[in-house]
Amino acid sequence: MFYVFQLTVPGLLAILIVTTPGATSWDCPLPCRCLDEVVDCAYRYLPHIEENMFNRTGAERIATLNLTNNRLTSLPDHIFDPLWGLKSLNLNHNSLKVLEVNLFSKLKGLEFLDMKGNMLSTLPVGLFALQNELISLDLSENQFSTLDIEVITPLMNLKTLLLSFNPLVCDCKFQPVVTWAIGKLSNMSAECDSPPNFKGLKWDEVRIVDCPSPPSALTTPSFVIYPSTHIPRTYTEASPPTRKPPGTKGNDFDVYPISIALIAVLIILTLVLIGTMVFIYCYKRLKGGNTHVQESCSE
Report the percent of the chain where pLDDT is more than 70: 70
pLDDT band per the 50, 70, 90 thresholds, residue 289: low
pLDDT for the residue numbered 204: 74
- 93/201: higher pLDDT: 93
Residue 2 · residue 38 · CB < 8 Å: no
Highest mean pLDDT among 145-159, 220-234, 281-295: 145-159
pLDDT for the residue numbered 67: 97
6-20 confidence digits (pLDDT tens): 444 444 333 333 333
Q: How far apart are CA 79 and CA 72, in angstroms?
A: 13
Q: How far apart are CA 44 and CA 65, in angstroms?
A: 13
Query: SS3 for 164?
Result: coil
How many residues belong to the chain? 299
User: With respect to CATH, is domain 22-212 assigned 3.90.550.10?
Assistant: no
pTM: 0.63
Among 28-42, 43-57, 157-171, 234-248, which is the least confidently predicted range? 234-248
Residue 185 · residue 161 · CB < 8 Å: yes
Q: What is the mean pLDDT of residues 259-282?
A: 84
Please state whether the peptide bond connecting residue 257 to the residue before it is cis, i.e. omega within 30 degrees of 0: no
| 93: exposed, middle or buried (Cβ count in 10 Å: 0-12, 13-18, 19+) | buried
pLDDT band per the 50, 70, 90 thresholds, residue 236: very low
Instruction: For the chain, give the mean pLDDT.
Output: 78
Count of Cβ atoms closer than 10 Å to residue 198 Cβ? 20
Amino acid in the structure at residue 24: T
Nearest residue to 120 (alpha-carbon basis) of 151, 141, 148 = 141
pLDDT at residue 266 above 80?
Answer: yes
The conformational region for residue 283 under phi > 0 = left, psi -120 to 50 = alpha, else beta, is alpha
> Which helix (H) or strand (E) element contains residue 258?
helix 255-287
pLDDT band per the 50, 70, 90 thresholds, residue 21: very low
Amino acid in the structure at residue 222: S
DSSP 25: -
